[in-house]
Structure 1
Amino acid sequence: MFRGVANLNLDTKGRMAMPSRYRDRLVETCEGRLVITVDRDGCLLVYPQPEWERIEQALMSRPNMDRQVRRLQRLLVGHATECELDGQGRILLPPPLRDYAGLDKRVVLVGQGNKFELWDEDTWVKSRDEWFKEEDETAEPSAVLESLSL
């Protein structure tokens, strides 16, 4: 499980050092091989390759005559890019993906269980604050969350 928030820097070549607390696990579970793709919220999704392959297989097995399925296939699979941790534990983020997420220098890596989200720092702070505000304005939890005790 990947959890926690890490504030990181991209170098001038667009490389990001994976926090050391995740490196060993990534090497053990996927030999440092990752897949990065886009997310509709404006961030990037970073998956260990075996986890991505399960998702990709499930998505591609859906009938692509359905417009929503085809849209997700185009976006997620179409932008999916394989990368590998280098000897210093860094990953190179391809320019098209950096451009999509507006990644320049300061980024935030957010653990999400089976994957990471990678955000531009300013976008992350703004979105996070909006989500907290939305939560405060919502009087009743959704039916999905009613039974969850935090």
Structure 2
Amino acid sequence: MYNVVKESGRKWEMKFFGTYYHSLDAKGRLVVPARFRETLKDLKTLYILQGFDGAISVYPEEAYHQELSFLEAQNFKNADARAYIRTIYASIEELEVDAAGRITLPVRIQKKYDIGQKVIVIGVGDHLEIWDEERYLSYERDACGNLEDLAAKLQEKA
């Protein structure tokens, strides 16, 4: 994870990367990985948005507002845009970061994403993802098995 000063010198962009194995405690609390806490140290609130592939997407405030700006720019008259906007807005949850650097995943969220006690937290650029450990390991096996194909497809679109 690192911070980058934009050319203007005013705006910081948070970048998160890496894979961290953690566990939820009996109260559903998750310790935010130390490396991420360093960047998030001044932030007391994180935001959950509907993730993809079974992951919980967790955004710091600035990236969260960028996501909302993207949603607000969509044409609500378009059925696909409307469905996406509704799904994302309905999924938003605020998470308070406590003094010990923990967030509490509500039981409703744990059930929705089928999160067990063992989780994996990964950095995905501007946000974090929380995965059930078994689900992520399965996803990783499948994704890494065709990484070259994925790279080739992305190159074709570039």
Instruction: Indicate whether the TM-score tops 0.5.
Output: yes
Contact map agreement 1:38 1:97 (CA 8 A) in 2: no
Match of 1:85 among 75, 93, 97: 97
Name whichever structure is richer in strand by fraction: 2
| SS of aligned partner of 1:145 | helix
Per the alignment, residue 75 of structure 1 pairs with 87
SS at structure 2 position matched to 1:118: strand
| Distance in 2 of aligned mates of 1:139 and 1:113 | 18
Partner residue of 2:136?
124
1:139 and 1:24, CA in 2 relative to 1: closer, same or farther beyond 3 A? Answer: closer
Contact (CA 8 Å) 1:4, 1:110: kept in 2 or not? yes
Q: Aligned residue for 1:145?
A: 155
What is the SS of the residue equivalent to 2:21?
strand
1:43 aligns with 2:55: yes
Q: Distance in 1 between matches of 2:117 and 2:51?
A: 20
Runs of 4+ more than 4 Å apart: none
The percentage of counterpart residues that share the same residue type is: 26
Partner of 1:134: 146
Cα distance, 1:147 vs. partner?
Answer: 9.7
* Correspondence list, 1:7-26, <5 A: 7-26=21-40
1:5 and 2:16 are equivalent in the alignment:
no
Is the counterpart of residue 56 in structure 1 residue 56 in structure 2?
A: no
- Please provide the CA RMSD for this pair: 2.0
3-state DSSP of counterpart to 1:141: helix
TM-score between the two structures when normalised by the length of structure 2: 0.83
Q: Which runs of 5+ in 2 are unaligned?
A: 1-14
- Please tell me whether the aligned partners of residues 4 and 111 of structure 1 are also in contact (alpha carbons under 8 angstroms): yes
- Check the 8 A contact 1:37/1:80 in 2, yes or no: yes
Tell me by how many angstroms 1:52 deviates: 0.5
Compared CA separation, residues 145 and 49, structure 1 to 2 (3 A): same
- The 2-side partners of 1:2 and 1:82 are apart by 19
Letter in 1 for 2:112: Y
TM-score if structure 1 supplies the norm length?
A: 0.87
The Cα shift of 1:139 comes to 9.1
Q: Matched residues in 2 for 1:35 and 1:140: separation?
A: 30
